Amino acid sequence: MAGEVKDILKNRVKGKNYDRLVAVDHPKMHRFIADAIELTNPASVYVCTDSPEDIAHIRALAVKNGEEIPLNIKGHTCHFDGISDQGRDTFSTRYLLPAGSSLGESLKSVEKQAGTKEIRDLLKNSMAGREMIICFWCLGPVGSDFTIPCLQITDSPYVVHSESLLYRPGYEQFKKLGEGHGFFRFLHSEGELENGVSKNHNLRRVYIDLEDELVYSVNTQYGGSTMGLKKLALRLAIQKASREGWLAEHMFVMGVHGPKNRVTYFTGAFPSACGKTSTSMLPGQTIVGDDIAYFRKKEGQMRAVNVEKGIFGIIQDVSEKDDPVIYKVLTNPMEVIFSNVLLDANKRPYWLGMGCEIPPEGTNFSGAWFNGKADDQGNPIPPAHKNARYTLSIPDLDNCDPALNDTNGVPVGGIVYGGRDSDTWNPVEQAFDWNEGIILKGAALESETTAATLGKQGVRTFNLMSNLDFVSIPLGKYVQINLDFAKGVKKPPLIFSVNYFLRGKDGKYLNTMADKLIWILWAELRVNGDVDAIKTPTGFIPKYEDLARLFKEHLKTQFTKDDYEKQFTIRIPENLAKLDRVEKIYRDKVPDTPKILFDTFAEARKRFKSAAEKLGDYISPFELLGK
């Protein structure tokens, strides 16, 4: 250790904590920690190892400092974020880029030198009087070529407690790294607090330095902006993956259980709050992960891992009826951190859409809450936030897939792309091939905005691969890398689109939440060549008989021909309008768009138009049979 760094660490990190740092022989890590201490000036430093005692200490600390409140079920606690800190702040989250460089119009950035100075000024003395916690985690299964070691520094025990549920331990890994090995670094401070929540939300900043694989965040407590390993690491990983020839995606990974005990692995990309977690937790299936996947090619196969080992899931609409697996977990003893729900006087949590009456008063993210309470602008404050969440560890679940920690990942049989789309896509459809799937399903994805990000909700927004918020390379390059990824793969995964949010003419949803199970089971049958499909201008759709059988067998419901026709009618004008909207974005904002994207759009447009000339604007699947 260099003399100056050693002096700082020796003076500021006491006893066993110092020994724990010295046990990791990594000068770059020591330099980073010494710098963070000098910058944020904490009263003390706690170095957290992988031991259960250390994690228990952190858990107790989060309760002691008021960041978590113990609830009435063993293992449950609740955390509140500030009223204006309830989702990812896509405006203040920016890439630090050297002067003169750009990632394209859609990716927000700030000049590196000025941005670094700005955020370091905000971090200056931010931990004065508080304890700094240093902790170590791994992205991906430990000891695999997917693994990325990460160092998190924060003044929030809630962040560390959450990370202990969400990520695999990394202290012992850091000891083995060797000084040349890279790692991702995250420095977070809640900043000044008022009533226990970050006060200066107008000075909230999350700045991502891609070159140095380092992220700073300040004046925020919301998990998506503070837990470095979640979406901040995804941004770093996308850039790293593009250099190294693998993929980092905003996707679940799940085992879909087909006939005769067959398990086929699927990955699926959905924008936040569009059914990703509830798909990965479907009854009868097994979960590998619900949010972020890394893909690598191994011996001619595409294989994926869950980068995490826990769930930070949206709780709204989790009810016994619609999400029985998740509901059961959230109402029984187990380690769970609820965030931004309503607590009654008995410390029981309530959330929107939980399927029971919500009490007229309690405590929520606005403090003491009562029915009719309004915010500063006079808007009613809901009992629980729409982006209220729960955090838990997947190995604690009965439906945990046995391959969760497989160092080779799982072979990917199918990929699904889905968004919040009221009028265009069918509930499920298979793309004609890999390129069409990547371009017309993934790269053309649009979705209505949700409460997972700050800002207006319900606005139809372009969101390629559900990953737009996290892509850290030029968008055209990102599409090309996805296209190229099937090269050398013997049997590329089949690609599907799904849409759980399709509405009829009366504006009502055409499906129930439970129906998604059927779309996924149908896709599994397609991957294994068990069912035929109908070729439409937009892709392959299921035959009525196959769906009717699956509905009867798995949901015990009758799927009528009328349901089928309403849901699977090809809506040509809407599909054409979508092509126009998305193509305009690529033409206007993505100068490096691969030519094949425009060619594929042009062919699709031709196909849609010639079908409409023959069969009309709205084409019933029954009309296509035999044609």
d(Cα 25, Cα 426) in Å, to the nearest integer? Answer: 55
Residue 287, phi then psi, degrees to nearest 5: -100, 135
Question: Which is nearest to 391 in space by CA: 452, 450, 329, 320?
Answer: 329
Question: Which is nearest to 460 in space by CA: 574, 536, 618?
Answer: 574
CB of 41 to ligand SPV, least distance (A): 28
d(Cα 472, Cα 247) in Å, to the nearest integer? Answer: 12
The stretches of 528-592 forming alpha helices (DSSP H) are: 544-550, 561-568, 572-589
**Residue 132, by phi and psi: left (phi above 0), alpha (psi -120 to 50) or beta?**
beta
- Contact call for residues 297 and 489 (beta carbons, < 8 A): yes
d(Cα 105, Cα 610) in Å, to the nearest integer? Answer: 35
Question: Which is nearest to 540 in space by CA: 465, 624, 612, 443?
Answer: 624
Closest to ligand SPV by CB, 272 or 426: 272
Tokens 């046990």 label which residue? 23
| Contact flags string 69-108 toward Mn ion, x per CB under 5 A | ----------------------------------------
Tokens 């398990």 label which residue? 263
CB of 249 to Mn ion, least distance (A): 11
CA angle 267, 273, 274 (to 5 degrees): 55
CB of 391 to ligand SPV, least distance (A): 10
Q: Which helix (H) or strand (E) holds 189?
A: strand 184-189
CB of 227 to ligand SPV, least distance (A): 7
The reply to whether 85 sits near ligand SPV by the rule CB under 6 A is no
- Contact call for residues 80 and 339 (beta carbons, < 8 A): yes
82 touches which of ligand SPV, Mn ion, none (CB within 5 to 8 A by kind)? none
Closest to Mn ion by CB, 415 or 550: 415
Longest dimension (CA), the chain: 80
CB of 544 to Mn ion, least distance (A): 34
The reply to whether 546 sits near ligand SPV by the rule CB under 6 A is no
Please count the helices (runs of H) and the strands (runs of E) in the chain: 19, 35
Helical pair 233-244 and 475-484, crossing angle rounded to 10 deg: 60
Question: Which is nearest to 145 in space by CA: 261, 57, 241?
Answer: 241
Question: Per CB under 6 A, which of residues 350..389 are in contact with ligand SPV?
Answer: none
The reply to whether 205 sits near ligand SPV by the rule CB under 6 A is no
**Binding-site member from 82, 149, 223, 310 for ligand SPV (CB under 6 A):** 223
312 touches which of Mn ion, ligand SPV, none (CB within 5 to 8 A by kind)? ligand SPV
Question: Per CB under 6 A, which of residues 241..270 are in contact with ligand SPV?
Answer: none
Retrieve residue 54's tokens: 């250390």
CB of 571 to ligand SPV, least distance (A): 28
- Contact call for residues 425 and 499 (beta carbons, < 8 A): yes
Select which of 135, 138, 274, 356 is catalytic: 274
| Contact flags string 11-40 toward ligand SPV, x per CB under 6 A | ------------------------------
**Binding-site member from 32, 266, 312, 478 for ligand SPV (CB under 6 A):** 312
| Contact flags string 252-281 toward Mn ion, x per CB under 5 A | --------------------x---------
The reply to whether 231 sits near ligand SPV by the rule CB under 6 A is yes
The reply to whether 88 sits near ligand SPV by the rule CB under 6 A is yes
**Binding-site member from 394, 452, 471, 619 for ligand SPV (CB under 6 A):** 452
Q: Give the C-alpha distances (Å, rounded to integers) separating 409 from 144, 161, 255, 291, 357.
A: 9, 26, 12, 15, 42
**Binding-site member from 155, 209, 249, 291 for Mn ion (CB under 5 A):** 291
170 touches which of Mn ion, ligand SPV, none (CB within 5 to 8 A by kind)? none
CB of 150 to ligand SPV, least distance (A): 15
- For ligand SPV, the nearest residue by Cβ is 224
Buried-exposed string 471-509: b where 16+ CB fall within 10 A, e elsewhere: bbbbbbbbbbbbbebbeebeebbbbbbbbbbbeeeeeee
CB of 460 to ligand SPV, least distance (A): 18
CB of 545 to Mn ion, least distance (A): 36
Q: Which helix (H) or strand (E) holds 411?
A: strand 410-418
Buried-exposed string 89-113: b where 16+ CB fall within 10 A, e elsewhere: bbebbbbbbeeeeebbeebebbbbe
The reply to whether 290 sits near Mn ion by the rule CB under 5 A is no
Residues sharing a CB contact under 8 Å with residue 511, sequence separation 6 or more, in sequence order: 427, 500, 502, 567
Our answer to whether residue 274 is catalytic in this structure is yes
Residues sharing a CB contact under 8 Å with residue 425, sequence separation 6 or more, in sequence order: 497, 498, 499, 502, 538
Closest to ligand SPV by CB, 456 or 556: 456
251 touches which of ligand SPV, Mn ion, none (CB within 5 to 8 A by kind)? none
483 touches which of ligand SPV, Mn ion, none (CB within 5 to 8 A by kind)? none
452 touches which of ligand SPV, Mn ion, none (CB within 5 to 8 A by kind)? ligand SPV
Selected range binding Mn ion among 75-83, 289-297, 598-606, 612-620, rule: CB under 5 A: 289-297
Amino acid at 451: A
**Binding-site member from 42, 140, 169, 224 for ligand SPV (CB under 6 A):** 224
**Binding-site member from 77, 126, 164, 272 for ligand SPV (CB under 6 A):** 272
Selected range binding ligand SPV among 223-231, 408-416, 454-462, 489-497, rule: CB under 6 A: 223-231
Question: Per CB under 6 A, which of residues 130..149 are in contact with ligand SPV?
Answer: none
The reply to whether 291 sits near ligand SPV by the rule CB under 6 A is yes
230 touches which of Mn ion, ligand SPV, none (CB within 5 to 8 A by kind)? ligand SPV
Binding residues for ligand SPV, rule CB under 6 A, total: 9
CB of 215 to Mn ion, least distance (A): 16
**Hey, which residues are catalytic here?**
274
Chain positions contacting Mn ion, by CB under 5 A: 272, 291
Chain positions contacting ligand SPV, by CB under 6 A: 88, 223-224, 230-231, 272, 291, 312, 452
